[in-house]
Chain A
Amino acid sequence: GAGVSQSPSNKVTEKGKDVELRCDPISGHTALYWYRQSLGQGLEFLIYFQGNSAPDKSGLPSDRFSAERTGGSVSTLTIQRTQQEDSAVYLCASSFTENTEAFFGQGTRLTVV
């Protein structure tokens, strides 16, 4: 596609359920990032994938959070046993390679009730 695509755009889930958020990066982009943005707040780094290298998971807030990137393309962010504090917009971005412009998707707004 022409840009970074995220799905779903909105997700409402009950506390304790697991959720999966999907990101389709721009074709050919080797770097992929996940960020979390709480209402009116900044961008909290979660995880970074670069090519076939081991991902930088240093931003994942707890072991309930995990992410994978299959075939160097699509990425899935999984949150297990969701909590109300997980409510936020989850943003995915991709770039052609490291240290180049990152293009962001529209985000997935997650609401845990």
Chain B
Amino acid sequence: GDSVTQMEGPVTLSEEAFLTINCTYTATGYPSLFWYVQYPGEGPQLLLKATKADDKGSNKGFEATYRKETTSFHLEKGSVQVSDSAVYFCALSGAVDSSYKLIFGSGTRLLVRP
């Protein structure tokens, strides 16, 4: 079945460091890919998305490129801030097996130190 695999956390970085969180997926169709961010005590919220191969999603300095050949959607940010500390979820939707339900990875906790 469809699935999403993320790098395990926690990821601890100093402020202004470069961030990469790896995400790969398994799907039988052509899914849309998403990154959601969850702050403590809140529900996840959409950070960025890409709907087809080679699309780049971007928001708030975060970027991710849909790579069909490597089935990946890695999240990057050039200079993280303390306020970026949160849990990040990679997700897919729209592949054949998953219908249109959102399938989430296990999440990666990011901690940014001043």
Which residues of chain A have a CB within 8 Å of any CB of chain B?
A: 4, 31, 33, 35, 41-43, 45, 48, 50, 56, 59, 91, 93, 98-99, 101-107
Contact = CB atoms under 8 A, between A and B. Distances in A.
Interface of B: 32, 41-46, 49, 51, 89, 93-94, 99-107
A105 B103 CA distance: 17
Contact of A104 (B32, B45, B99, B101): B45
A56 B98 CA distance: 9
Contacts, number: 56
Nearest to A97: B100
Given A42-B105, A42-B106, A98-B94, A48 B46 contact: no
B54 to A, nearest CB: 18
B106 A45 contact: no
Q: Which 5 A-B pairs have the closest CB atoms?
A: A104-B43, A98-B100, A42-B106, A48-B101, A43-B104
